[in-house]
Amino acid sequence: MTKSHIAFFGLGLMGSGMAQRLLAGGYRLTVFNRSVRKTDALAAQGAQVATSPREAASHADVVVSMVADDEASNRIWLGEEGALSGIRPGTVCIECSTVTVDWARKLGAAVAAGGGEFLDAPVTGSKAQAAAGELNFLVGGAADTLEKARPVLAAMSKSIVSLGPVGSGAFFKLINNFVCGVQVAALAEAIGLIERGGLDPAKAVDLLKGGAAGSPLVHTVAARMMASDFTPNFLLKLMAKDLRYAIQESRKLSVDLATAEAALADFQDSIAARDGDKDIAALVEQFRRKG
């Protein structure tokens, strides 16, 4: 499958960079995106542009989706003119979106019923890592399916980790993003406290970054918060969605994600303030506005 024909759905902040890496790796690529305008750059580099997911999938060996949520994934795969109506027996279908565990499992079953093979393979990393081919794939699915898909995933990544059966990748991704969302919320609250308390913001934030609280995420997001640079790398509204999904999963397992609930409230306040389409760093603005 080294030079498979790939169908790729979803050309947002992440998907556009991932698709670019596939083209750079010499793969034949067909893309579909609801906003056709976002296909222009890839078409200029040799990608074919399909008019529907079904058309894109009909000649593909591997189908990859990178969309916003369960609803968008459902439309791409199972909707009218959906990809599963076009796949051939043996097609490897990969859902890279951050979705619920239930949906990953339902989609896996639907792919199998259609004669395909399925992986749920969400990623860690954001826009810059997608463009550089340095994502980390968190994979759920059969080992032999992963081996078939590995060259394709490798073209977009620096690591590929198998976590177990279908749904395992989705489950761990929600855990990862819940921890990230809590860190972003705590950082936003801390910067609001620092600025209102009269400390030198630059000095205080540098101390946080250099101490025990200074995770890689804190380093990255703190720089954006301090510069008030909210150019999207990870959309604020999508982190809110990920927190909601994580909380839903935790309730099924009788685990109370109190910190996720608190973080989600902060994110919802920012969305209400029309910051949802900005970078997650924009979460700090609500604490600068209050008072």
**pTM to 2 decimal places:** 0.96
The pLDDT tens digits of the residues spanning 97-146 come to: 999 999 999 999 999 999 999 999 999 999 999 999 999 999 999 999 99
Mean pLDDT of all residues belonging to the chain: 97
Q: What is the pLDDT of residue 291?
A: 59
The size of the chain, in residues, is 291
Q: What is the pLDDT of residue 290?
A: 73
Collect all residues with Cβ–Cβ distance below 8 Å to 246 and sequence separation of at least 6.
Answer: 174, 175, 177, 178, 181, 257, 260
Catalytic positions, written as ranges: 173
% helix, strand, coil for the chain, step of 5: 55, 15, 30
Q: Is 254 left (phi over 0), alpha (psi -120 to 50) or beta?
A: left
Q: What angle do CA 44, 91, 106 make, to 5 degrees?
A: 110
The pLDDT tens digits of the residues spanning 17-42 come to: 999 999 999 999 999 999 999 999 99
Mean pLDDT of 249-253: 97
- In angstroms, the CA 284 to CA 291 distance is 14
| CATH superfamily, region 5-166 | NAD(P)-binding Rossmann-like Domain (3.40.50.720)
* All CATH 3.40.50.720 domain ranges in the chain, comma separated: 5-166
CB-count exposure of residue 237 (10 Å: 0-12, 13-18, 19+):
middle
Under 8 Å between Cβ of 32 and 49:
yes
Q: What is the pLDDT of residue 70?
A: 98
Asked if residue 240 has pLDDT above 90, the reply is yes
Q: What is the pLDDT of residue 3?
A: 79
Fold for domain 171-289? N-(1-d-carboxylethyl)-l-norvaline Dehydrogenase; domain 2 (1.10.1040)
Mean pLDDT of 272-287: 98
The pLDDT tens digits of the residues spanning 155-213 come to: 999 999 999 999 999 999 999 999 999 999 999 999 999 999 999 999 999 999 999 99
Q: What is the pLDDT of residue 1?
A: 44
Q: What is the pLDDT of residue 141?
A: 98
If we measure between CA atoms, which residue out of 232, 136, 124 comes closest to residue 178? Answer: 124
A 10 A CB-CB count for 24 gives 12
Mean pLDDT of 53-57: 98
* All CATH 1.10.1040.10 domain ranges in the chain, comma separated: 171-289
Three-state SS for 9? strand
What DSSP line would sit under 210-232, residue for residue? Answer: HSTT--HHHHHHHHHHHHT----
